[in-house]
Amino acid sequence: MSDRYMNVAKDNARVGVQIGKAVGGVTVGGAPVKEDELRNRLAELRSAMRRSVESGKLGPDRCEEVESELSEVDAYIEGLGSRQRGTMLTALKKVKGLLGDFGDLASIAAVVLAVAQGVGQ
The structure's pTM equals 0.70
| Alpha helix stretches (DSSP H) within 33-102 | 35-55, 60-78, 85-98
> To 10 degrees, what angle do helices 103-118 and 85-98 make?
170
pLDDT in tens, 51-62: 999 999 999 999
Selection from 93, 84, 95, 94 nearest residue 119 by Cα: 84
Calpha distance 107→90 (Å, rounded): 17
pLDDT at residue 111 in the model = 94
List CB contacts of 58: < 8 A, sequence separation 6 or more: 49, 52, 102, 105
Choose among 111, 67, 116: nearest CA to 90.
116
pLDDT in tens, the chain (121 residues): 566 767 777 787 776 777 777 777 776 666 666 778 899 999 999 999 999 999 999 999 999 999 999 999 998 888 865 568 889 999 999 999 999 999 999 999 999 999 998 876 6
Length of the chain: 121
Angle formed at CA 71 by CA 69 and CA 73, multiple of 5 degrees = 85
Half-sphere exposure of 59 (CA within 13 A, CB side): 5
